[in-house]
Structure 1
């Protein structure tokens, strides 16, 4: 996963690009067993925080 933003609602979590699923996912930090810090993830179209926010805003509007 490539973390984009840490948030806190009921439990702390992180919004991230999931390499396994090739999509944005939210991960609860209390469920993360291992975390490896690496160099900055290269900015790629469709995988940035701005892309995540745009998609989430679109989902809220369609409800």
Structure 2
């Protein structure tokens, strides 16, 4: 996550990707089989400005049962 903030500070955007076919990516990039990829982090310029995300407070969607 910290790397993503640094990328944004330099004017770029990124998005973490999991669950991709790493075997195919490793084949095309000629990466050694000893490496175990767990995340793909594409970096680039956004086509358009995204929207602001608003995080709801925990009290809005939780109920504490005593």
TM-score band, normalised by the shorter chain?
Answer: under 0.3
TM-score by length of 1: 0.27
TM-score by length of 2: 0.26
> Taking CA–CA contacts closer than 8 Å with sequence separation of 6 or more, which of the two structures ends up with the larger relative contact order?
2
